[in-house]
Amino acid sequence: MKNVDDLIDSAAELAERGLSKGEIADELNVSRETASWLVERGGGSEGAETAGTTASADIHVDWSALGRDSTRLGYAASAMADLLAKQGEAVDLTVGIEKAGAPLATAVADRLDTDLGTYAPAKHQWEEGDIDEHGGGFSRNFAAIRNRDCYVVDDIITSGTTMRESIDAIREQGGEPVACVVLVDKMGYDEIDGVPVYSLVDVVRVDREE
């Protein structure tokens, strides 16, 4: 996708397929507010309900050139694993935040020789209003937290809400997040709730006054 019109078309298509606003935000790598704005502009099925919605400044990140090729994805995961390696060898679990963080976490876990867990955040059920803080959950098809130290992997930090939710969910299960790693951090976090955050790319928005 090269421009906003492409994003609007994609948001409309995803809305017609029945995806929630939270899932659309996840698919397009934008904030929930931006996803609502895009759906409205695209005439999605809920456009009338979001009339008057405005989107604050946001940055769309398209990393599909990595995601569609397993070799390139593996190279990116190796770099992410290298960022985590400084934490030592005691960690034996890597948790990927679904959806896009899961394949990255799989490759990172392979390189760090850890077990693999996945977490589905509450935003996947989000439409309008506040997110249910207990709407997320861990998949039973993967490793359980079981009071273990772990790494947390996702593709992009947009606001930090999803990463913070994931950290809280891990701690509720008795685990301890040692570090988080992402491809792109739009906010430039050094840490979230006391957990170090590493990223391959930090985005810094420069607003110039004329």
Instruction: Specify which of 59-68, 117-126, 198-207 reaches the highest per-range mean pLDDT.
Output: 59-68
> Residue 207: what pLDDT?
62
What confidence category does residue 47 fall into, taking pLDDT thresholds of 50, 70 and 90?
very low
Segment among 17-26, 38-47, 81-90, 116-125 with least mean pLDDT = 38-47
> Residue 33: what pLDDT?
80
Same fold? 4-46, 64-202: no
> Residue 68: what pLDDT?
95
Question: DSSP state, 130?
Answer: P
* Better-scored residue on pLDDT, 98 or 90: 98
Cα-Cα end-to-end distance for the chain: 29
Q: Is the pTM of this model over 0.85?
A: no
> Residue 209: what pLDDT?
59
Please give the Cα distance from 34 to 4 (Å, whole number). 11
Condensed to tens digits (0 to 9), the pLDDT of residues 136-182 reads 899 999 999 999 999 999 999 998 999 999 999 999 999 999 999 99
| CATH architecture of the domain with residue range 4-46 | Orthogonal Bundle (1.10)
115, containing H or E segment = strand 115-120
> Residue 129: what pLDDT?
53
Instruction: Give the start-to-end residue ranges of the domains of the chain.
Output: 4-46, 64-202
Domain 64-202 belongs to what topology? Rossmann fold (3.40.50)
Mean pLDDT score across all residues of the chain: 85
* Better-scored residue on pLDDT, 68 or 86: 68
> Residue 51: what pLDDT?
41
> Residue 2: what pLDDT?
62
What confidence category does residue 29 fall into, taking pLDDT thresholds of 50, 70 and 90?
confident
With helix as H, strand as E and coil as C, how does 26-38 read? Answer: HHHCCCHHHHHHH
> Residue 166: what pLDDT?
97
Q: Is the pLDDT of residue 203 over 90?
A: no
Q: Would you put residue 194 in left (φ > 0), alpha (ψ -120 to 50) or beta? A: left
